[in-house]
A and B are shown apart, each in its own frame.
Chain A
Amino acid sequence: MTDLKPVPVPNADTQAFWDACNEDRLLFQTCKDCGHTQFYPRVVCVSCESRNLKWHDSAKLGTVHSYTIVQRAPSPAFKADAPYLLALIDLDEGFRMMVNILNCPTDAATIGMKVHIVFEDREGQKVPQAAPLN
């Protein structure tokens, strides 16, 4: 069993997203036909069936929708981090992501807390994470 945290493996749907992460940019999609905003990246608009999607750069600012303090890690790779913060955050552009909240005491996290996206390097692939805004 590996002690390395999972590294995302981009596919054709997500290559642009993960390439942008490596430049500290956070991409999301909107539909050119109906304007719907969506995350994670895919080839179809979940609102109107359109295949006509456009990438945008996020301002990387968001709000904690919910969080938990994980005490029991799912794999050896996360054991050293436990307890750690896992959260669903709503980006200001109107999409939701799962992240860890870094640089934050576990007892300081709250629903409604403002965060910004930071990037964590995993074996040469950067992954988006969150940190408290102030």
Chain B
Amino acid sequence: MPKHAVISGVHNTKVGSVPDSTVMSLHSEAAFGAIADAGLKLSDIDGVLCAYAITETYPMLSSAFCEYVGVAPNFNAGLHGGGATAAMMAMQATALVRNGDCRHVLCVAGENRLTGMTRDKAVAALAEFGHPQFEQPYGVNIPAAYALVAQRYLHETGATLEHLAALAVLHRTHAAMHPDAHMTEAITLDDVANARTISDPLRFLDCCLISDGGAAFIVSAGETAGDMKKSNPAILGAGQGHTHEHILAAPSLTSFGCKMSSATAFGKAGVTTSDIDVAAIYDSFTITLLIELESIGFYEKGEAGEAALRGELTHGGKMPCNTHGGLLSFGHSGAAGGMFHIVEAVRQLRGEADIRQVPDANLAFVHGDGGILSAHCSMILGNI
């Protein structure tokens, strides 16, 4: 068996309002940052994976990126898995390096979603995800689709709006500890409760941000790890789960494909939820993370919100989660949004998370989901 693939370099750009940025400039800055972090040169990169962008659209974004920076890899492709894309890239890159097709695969994403398009255009673009005949005619948008999930979840579990708010506050607290975060001003449970409703029961502060920003990471063959600049966490296991694209076709509104994706990842890594030191789990809305924490098995159904209120998901707690501040407060820049989670997990495992550092973090759980809890990819990273 080939050795475990490793993540040898990570980088995020400044996130939030990044004036004069473009899709390609953010991709480039993130990519060169990750290449430098790994101690590599662009010419060492022999695989490239990109995602998609809505601010500037390219039919073949990954080819356009390679053209823009001047690299001609052995393997180059685009992936479209919404918020799961970054984790899917890691899984695909793992297959490439373990199969011997590539040694160093650059995975990169970035968009100027905040300054590159008007807010109305961004909101309208996010309404186009619905089924063209059976959802879009009803005026659904992404917050409304997640609100349908949230309403049902609250109904079935007896969880409260305060449980949702606890997660919003948690992420803001974490973002305030990160120099690159978009939103760092402190918020309270009352602030979340008093924020305007976007789509009942979700309030403004239950929703992720719209940010400019880029991120990149490099997956390298395990055989190269001894040559690399830094200690490199290994990808110990990964898995996916897919149940639907459109929320009208979801088999359940309270249990999703994260159950399958995480079970596969844990099984391959040979570890369980109780072994995890630090987690980075997709948080497009507060409800997203609440449901995923429970579906994945970190908590029983309806109990993750109480755990957040008790401080279990922050420093000193049982399993610090999204220590960078997540999509809710660090930032959300399209496919780069889910990549920030991977960047943070690697920094935690390397001991590079500065004041956010979780002591003795050796095993991390990373999870991305795309669509309306539609496409899921989970991953276990560890120091070996």
Contacts and interface: CB of A to CB of B under 8 A. Distances in A.
Interface of A: 1, 5-11, 14, 18, 39-40, 65-75, 77-78, 81, 83-84, 86-88, 96-100, 111, 122, 127
Contacts of B273: none
Interface-central residue, B135, B137, B148, B196, by most chain A CB under 10 Å: B137
Interface string B77-109: 000000000000000000000000000000000
Given A69-B197, A74-B126, A98-B247, A8 B152 contact: no
Contact of B137 (A68, A83, A127): A127
13 contacts: A7-B137, A8-B134, A9-B133, A18-B133, A40-B134, A40-B249, A67-B148, A71-B199, A73-B139, A74-B123, A86-B148, A96-B248, A99-B138
Contacts of A6: 132, 136-137
B144 interface: yes
Contacts of A88: 148, 247-248, 253
Contact of A75 (B124, B155, B196, B200): B124
A77 B109 CA distance: 32
A87 B133 CA distance: 16
A70 B149 contact: no
Nearest to B140: A86
Contacts, number: 111
A68 B151 contact: yes
Contact of A78 (B139, B143, B200): B139
Given A69-B199, A74-B124, A97 B139 contact: no
A40 B133 contact: yes
A5 B137 CA distance: 7
The residue among B135, B139, B155, B253 with the most chain A CB atoms within 10 A of its own CB is B139
Nearest to A46: B249
B131 interface: yes
A42 B68 CA distance: 41
Contacts of B126: 74
B151 A97 contact: no
Contacts of A72: 123, 141, 143, 198-199
B7 interface: no
A87 to B, nearest CB: 8
B139 A100 contact: yes
Contacts of B139: 5, 70, 73-75, 77-78, 81, 84, 86, 100
B159 interface: no
B143 to A, nearest CB: 7
B147 interface: yes
Contact of B248 (A11, A69, A78, A97): A97
A111 B151 contact: yes
A71 B198 contact: yes
A8 B199 CA distance: 24
Contacts of A69: 197, 199-200
Given A66-B148, A72-B143, A97-B134, A111 B248 contact: no
